[in-house]
Amino acid sequence: MMKHSVLPIAAIALSLSSQQSVAQEATEIVKFSDVTYQPLNPARGDAAPQAGVLWGDIAKDVPTGAIIKFGENFSSPPHIHNITYRGIVIEGAVHNDDPDAANMWMGPGSFWSQPAGEPHITSAAAEGGATIFLEILEGPYLVRPTEEAFDNHELPVNLDSSNVVWLSTDDVTWIDQPAAKDNTAAPQLAYLWGESSAANATFLKIPAGTSGTLESNAGLLRAVTISGKTDLTVPEGSTESDLVPGSYFGSETGGSYDLSCQIEDDCMLYVRAEGKYTFTGK
């Protein structure tokens, strides 16, 4: 077996708390332009990926969502994490796999999960690096050497965007497109993880130039823009425009959100929910 040099990696945690809410009361809105960053590994400074938290606190045992920026040609040494995380490529390309695996570059809209305790490396594209969304359901997020590897009986997932299975309004009850106009494309949904009756996550695709209402009365609902640009009206009555990729909105108690996808490109959201939500096109 080919041996890899292992750089010493100290256990680290990034003390980042979520950005201040733009909207009032229960709804949180964080625009990508307002995210602030710190090194994911303070010991490596600017050479480390840069992390900015959307919700939660990556240094504590709480669910957290964060934007991670990798520089050009970034490549980590082999390492493990103490907890499982999930990632989605927003911009650029990422390779995340066993240290002996051949490069498999995943572009925008790709999804992967990294089980706790499993040795792996993470690399970013030579040109432009990469920006990703990272989510953990528990913390803190730590990096440890491969000598501390363990088997938590989860399997990794690497899902390239070209292999995402999209479901139409005829296939699921979570979305609806009443009286579609003049060949207007309908919204679509793709399952990523979890169960419809419990914690889950999906991709929601809203066609360019269309709008609809995202709603959940079952509890927590969080959404991160992965592609496209949306305008949002929240239950409190305020409107936020130009939620570009990397922007977030959500609430611990669900709610009803009117969304419009601007005309340039289709909009894709990562939707994290407790139980089913609905999206009704207009």
Written as tens digits, the pLDDT of the chain (282 aa) is 333 333 333 333 344 444 444 433 478 999 999 999 988 877 777 778 999 999 999 989 999 999 999 999 999 999 999 999 999 999 999 999 999 999 999 999 999 999 999 999 999 988 889 999 999 999 999 999 999 999 999 999 999 999 999 998 889 989 887 655 555 688 999 999 999 888 999 999 999 999 999 999 878 999 999 999 999 998 777 889 899 999 999 999 998 999 999 999 999 999 999 999 999 988
Do 236 and 230 form a contact (C-beta atoms < 8 A)?
A: no
Cβ-based neighbours of 238, under 8 Å, separated by 6 or more: 23, 24
> Is domain 164-281 in CATH 3.40.30.20, yes or no?
no
Question: Where in the sequence of the chain do the CATH 2.60.120.10 domains occur?
Answer: 28-162, 164-281
| CATH number given to 28-162 | 2.60.120.10
pLDDT for 183: 56
Cα–Cα distance for residue pair 187/277, rounded to 1 Å? 14
Q: Within 10 A of 25 (CB to CB), how many other CB atoms are there? A: 12
pLDDT for 197: 85
pTM for this prediction: 0.89
**Angle (CA) 136 91 80, round 5°:** 35
pLDDT for 182: 57
**Angle (CA) 232 237 241, round 5°:** 25
